[in-house]
Amino acid sequence: MNFIKKSPWILHYDGSSCNGCDIEVLACLTPLYDVERFGVINTGNPKHADILLITGSVNEQNIPVVKQLYEQMAEPRVVVAVGICAATGGIFSECYNVVGGADKVLPVDVYVPGCAARPEAVIDGVMRALAILEEKQKTARCKKGTQEGAGV
Partner 1 sequence: MIALEILAIIILTPLVGGLLTGADRVISARMQGRKGPPVLQPFYDVFKLFQKESIEVNTMHRFYVYISIIFVIFTVIIVLLGGDVLLAVFALTLGSIFFVLGGYASNSPYSLIGSERELLQMMSYEPMLLLASLGLYYVNNSFYIKDIISGDTPAILFLPGIFAGFVFILTFKLRKSPVDLSMSHHGHQEIVKGITTEYSGKDLAIIEITHWYETVLVLAFVYIFFAVKDPVSHVWAVLACVVVYFLEILVDNGSARVKWQLALKSSWIVTGIVGAVNLVVISLFR
Task: Compute the 3-state secondary structure of the chain and give helix, strand, coil in percent, each to the nearest 5.
Answer: 45, 20, 35
Question: Which member of 47, 150, 151, 152 binds partner 1 (CB under 8 A)?
Answer: 47
With CB under 8 A as the contact rule, which of the stretches 19-27, 34-42, 92-100, 107-115 interacts with partner 1? Answer: 34-42
Residue 35: CB atoms within 10 Å: 21
Residue 31 makes contact with partner 1 by CB under 8 A:
yes
Between CA 59 and CA 75 the distance in angstroms is 26
Sign, CA torsion 59/63/65/70: positive
> Which residue of 20, 39, 113, 114 would you call a contact of partner 1, by CB under 8 A?
39
Return the residue of 18, 20, 42, 121 that touches partner 1, per CB under 8 A.
Answer: 42
How long a stretch of residues is the chain? 152
List 44, 147, 149, 152, residue binding partner 1 (CB under 8 A): 44
How many angstroms separate the CA atoms of 71 and 75, rounded?
9
Binding flag, residue 48, partner 1 (CB under 8 A)? yes
Instruction: Give the binding site for partner 1 (CB under 8 A).
Output: 1-4, 6-7, 31, 34, 36-39, 41-45, 47-48, 50, 72, 74-76, 137
